[in-house]
Structure 1
Amino acid sequence: MRFSSTAFFFLATLSSVIATTGDKCQVEIVRAVECDRKTRKGDQISLHYRGSLQDGGKQFDTSYDRGEPLSILVGQGSVIKGLDDNIVDMCIHEKRKIIIPPDFGYGSVAMGPIPASSTLIFEIELVGISGVESPKSIVEKSKSDASKVTNALKDAITSKISDGINAAKMLLFESDSDGQEHNEL
């Protein structure tokens, strides 16, 4: 059977995406908030956080003890990748719990009280976005609404992967001009 170069590239890309999906950060929305303006790359934001080790739960840092939130630029690499990537699309007063594997944290390097190859847990609350007025009241979304959004995302991703596999099958079928029988994907 001959693979078209497009089909081969698609399958290689798809397997790469599927292989890396399990190694990403896990994000739990602890308090979902409705808003008109969410964080985006380049925003100057203020957030409170509590960082702890997944192994043993020992807290290694917190902004609460200092009495003032951390101020950073979103998406500019001023914090570890696992945190930087997962503070986008947040509303002011939203809370998230982010579990960050070593590859998105400090990797195989020890950093102060954080041992090498540690999985980190950050509990964060967005306090403000520079230039955006803080809401006068917090309109929380129910947990069931957050679950619905999460489930809808899972369904959409599953559907896209299925569509991609079907497209790859069609490309393989259309590029198979020798008429011989072959094993399916």
Structure 2
Amino acid sequence: MVQVKFPQMGTRLAAKQGWRFDSTYDHKDDNGEPNPFVFVLGSGKVIAGIDVAVRSMKVGGIRRVIIPPSLGYQNTSQEPIPPNFFDRQRLFTTIFNPTRRANGEGSTLGTVIFDIELVSVRHP
């Protein structure tokens, strides 16, 4: 089990002038602390670029990762995605826009930028 935070610069979409679409700092627990994003490394439930980046990080480390479409969102069921439906819809409308892809923008539409802080790793 891996816990990461996406600091205040958060998660951005490169194609929309760096549109920031999420940050774990936007989602607080009852104590006002950011809720970390939790996933199982290698489960296939997160985008491949996050999985690859976290594997080479140390707990406490912070890294900016530019994830190309080939390692990014391939479908709308992959994590991490914003819990707010409007932002989620806007994100996927941008990434999977067939008209813009047909116009040759496909290589940049799905590029995402994550600032990642590795909070903890728990081995089963």
Q: What TM-score, normalized to structure 1?
A: 0.43
2:73 paired with 1:112 = no
2:11 paired with 1:54 = no
Which amino acid is 1:64 matched to?
A: Y
- Structure with the greater alpha carbon radius of gyration: 1
CA distance in 2 between partners of 1:108 and 1:63 (Å): 21
Which amino acid is 2:57 matched to?
A: M
Task: Give the gaps of 5 or more residues in structure 2.
Answer: 28-33, 77-87, 96-108
Which amino acid is 2:61 matched to?
A: E
Which amino acid is 1:57 matched to?
A: G
Alignment size in residue pairs: 87
Which residue of the partner structure matches residue 124 of structure 1? Answer: 116
Contact 1:102 / 1:108 at 8 angstroms: preserved in 2? no
Give RMSD over aligned pairs. 1.9
Query: 1:112 deviation in Å?
Result: 2.4
Query: Of the two structures, which has the highest relative contact order with CA contacts closer than 8 Å and spacing of 6 or more?
Result: 2
Find the partner of 1:64 among 25, 28, 37. Answer: 25
CA distance in 1 between partners of 2:75 and 2:68 (Å): 11
CA distance in 2 between partners of 1:112 and 1:103 (Å): 20
CA distance in 1 between partners of 2:90 and 2:112 (Å): 12
Q: What TM-score, normalized to structure 2?
A: 0.63
